[in-house]
A and B are shown apart, each in its own frame.
Chain A
Amino acid sequence: MNLTLKIWRQANAAAKGNIETYPISDVSPDMSFLEMMDVLNEELMVKGIDPVAFDHDCREGICGMCSMFINGEAHGPDRLVTTCQLHMRKFNDGDTITIEPFRANAFPVIKDLTVDRSAFDRIQQAGGFVSVNTSGNTQDANSIPIDKHDADKAFDAAICIGCGACVASCKNASAMLFVSAKVSQYALLPQGKIEATDRVLNMVKQMDDEGFGNCTNTGACEVECPKGISLENIARMNREYYSASLEG
């Protein structure tokens, strides 16, 4: 496959970025998107051009590091996959592919296609945890009966890898899907209910402080989420928030 890549280049956080065009040839349809980027970078380095910086780690869709906005969609045109799981067979010979970083004021660009997603870490630190007494008399988690229905829903929420595709896809750069997944995974389990009130209030406050936009229920986040996190979690977080606000 011969392709034309239009890639956002930005030297650093303070620099003004722009789209650069790079032709690439002999791309195998069996390559992953990141492998194609590796080949491009090798060619750029041979030419003495600074390689394109992009985030990646596990390359098997579980770490949430890769974060490219490809042809107008987070993680590209495929569904329920991260960029590392996207294959070049999803494109056609002669295509022009536009590659940009995830864009949101809360996700500032560090360099080229890498963005700072530490806003998600700070939201997690605000309440995305369960305080466990580790003094030696901790109750065995398996001894606490949990309804199978709730356990399944908690697991469905917990598979969020925090990649930020929801923010990148939302026209408002809202982080509601991410935060609601983190709130839900605890709210549904008995271990998480103890701190439920403070958790949702603190995490939503942190989300707002980070400068994410408001949810307008377009559903784009759910469609683009590589893990299929449901909008049902946002409704649950809203209920948790109303309840916590009345209590608090």
Chain B
Amino acid sequence: MISSSIARKLAMALSGVFLVLFLGQHFTINMTSVISEKTFNSISHFMGSNPLVQFVLQPILIFGVLFHFIMGFVLEIKNRKSRSIKYTAFNGAANASWVSRNMIFSGIVILSFLGLHFYDFWFPEINYKYIEFLPENPNRYYEELVHKFHDPIKVILYSVSFFFLALHLYHGFASSFQTIGVNNKFSKSIKLFTVAFSIVVPLGFVFIAVFHHLNGQ
């Protein structure tokens, strides 16, 4: 079944919905950092030390991320091969949004951002816990977060990435339901939720980055 075009699209859609759920959880936890340092530290410590999260959910998440990106490239290559000779004039804007036609580009920006994000947070965290085996400190997370956003260039890079994340979500989330087979009376509500989610979550992430940048001055 996975060899068919529809099966591949379904796999792409399901991995996308999974990543949206993760994004919602990540956003919720990060938002606590602007409300309560103690709460943020407490949740971060739980997420960073719980064996179920660390050794079951985290590998599933990494697999989900890698799968979504690899399948995205596989589909893109196949799609490009389906029209070897391009049109001299192709008025894509006449019938489809820029966002829907350029998911690969917003996806590549998000992939690049993930590289930076892993460099900033994930690799140091893995190094701290599993390579250098540094002593456990449940109160270090908030300080690390504020420190990371001290550099204004980083805040700008994160904000630009979140803009592209918004574009990707704007088409991707509702589109995944169409692929799953949902196109009915609920579609309007799904689209409304998609618009709200694709604005609120990335804008919230920008707010968190700017907040901690100003907080750390």
The reply to whether B87 and A100 contact each other, CB–CB distance below 8 Å, is yes
In the complex where A173-B79, A217-B178 touch, is A235 in contact with B183 (Cβ < 8 A)? yes
Does B135 reach chain A (CB closer than 8 Å)? no
Does A72 reach chain B (CB closer than 8 Å)? yes
CA distance A245 to B6 in the complex (A): 11
Chain B CB within 10 A, most for which of A19, A237, A238: A238
Q: Given the complex, which residues of B lie within 8 Å of A190, measured CB to CB? A: none
**Number of residues in B with C-beta < 8 Å to the partner?**
39
Q: Given the complex, which residues of A lie within 8 Å of B91, measured CB to CB? A: 71-73
The reply to whether B100 and A217 contact each other, CB–CB distance below 8 Å, is yes
Residue in A73, A105, A171 whose beta carbon sits within 8 Å of that of B84 in the complex:
A105
The reply to whether A171 and B96 contact each other, CB–CB distance below 8 Å, is yes
CA distance A97 to B89 in the complex (A): 10
Per-position contact with B for A162-203: 1 when CB-CB < 8 Å, else 0? Answer: 000000010111100000000000000000000000000000
Q: Given the complex, which residues of A lie within 8 Å of B181, measured CB to CB? A: 235-236, 238-239, 242
Residue in A71, A72, A204, A239 whose beta carbon sits within 8 Å of that of B4 in the complex:
A204
Does A69 reach chain B (CB closer than 8 Å)? yes
Q: Given the complex, which residues of B lie within 8 Å of A236, measured CB to CB? A: 181, 183
CA distance A6 to B181 in the complex (A): 41
Chain A CB within 10 A, most for which of B6, B79, B94: B6
In the complex where A208-B5, A238-B181 touch, is A214 in contact with B79 (Cβ < 8 A)? yes
Does A66 reach chain B (CB closer than 8 Å)? no
Residue in A8, A73, A212, A216 whose beta carbon sits within 8 Å of that of B100 in the complex:
A216
Shortest Cβ distance from residue A75 to the other chain B in the assembled complex, whole angstroms = 11
Q: Given the complex, which residues of A lie within 8 Å of B182, measured CB to CB? A: 235
Residue in B6, B78, B94, B175 whose beta carbon sits within 8 Å of that of A204 in the complex:
B6
The reply to whether A104 and B87 contact each other, CB–CB distance below 8 Å, is no
In the complex where A103-B83, A103-B85 touch, is A217 in contact with B175 (Cβ < 8 A)? yes
The reply to whether B6 and A220 contact each other, CB–CB distance below 8 Å, is no
CA distance A205 to B1 in the complex (A): 10
Per-position contact with A for B1-39: 1 when CB-CB < 8 Å, else 0? Answer: 100111111100000000000000000000000000000
**Number of residues in A with C-beta < 8 Å to the partner?**
46
The reply to whether B179 and A238 contact each other, CB–CB distance below 8 Å, is yes
Does A218 reach chain B (CB closer than 8 Å)? yes
Does B137 reach chain A (CB closer than 8 Å)? no
Q: Given the complex, which residues of A lie within 8 Å of B89, measured CB to CB? A: 69, 71-72, 98, 100
Does A51 reach chain B (CB closer than 8 Å)? no
Does B160 reach chain A (CB closer than 8 Å)? no
A201-245 at interface with B (beta carbon < 8 Å): 204-205, 207-208, 211-220, 223-224, 231-232, 234-239, 241-242, 245
Binding site for A on B (CB under 8 A): 1, 4-10, 75, 78-79, 81-92, 94-97, 100-101, 103, 171, 175, 178-184
Q: Identify 26 residue pairs between A and B in the complex whose beta-carbon atoms are under 8 Å apart, listed by A's number.
A: A71-B89, A72-B89, A73-B94, A100-B87, A100-B89, A103-B87, A104-B82, A105-B84, A169-B95, A171-B79, A171-B96, A204-B4, A204-B5, A205-B4, A208-B5, A214-B79, A216-B75, A216-B175, A218-B97, A218-B100, A220-B92, A231-B178, A234-B178, A235-B183, A241-B6, A242-B6
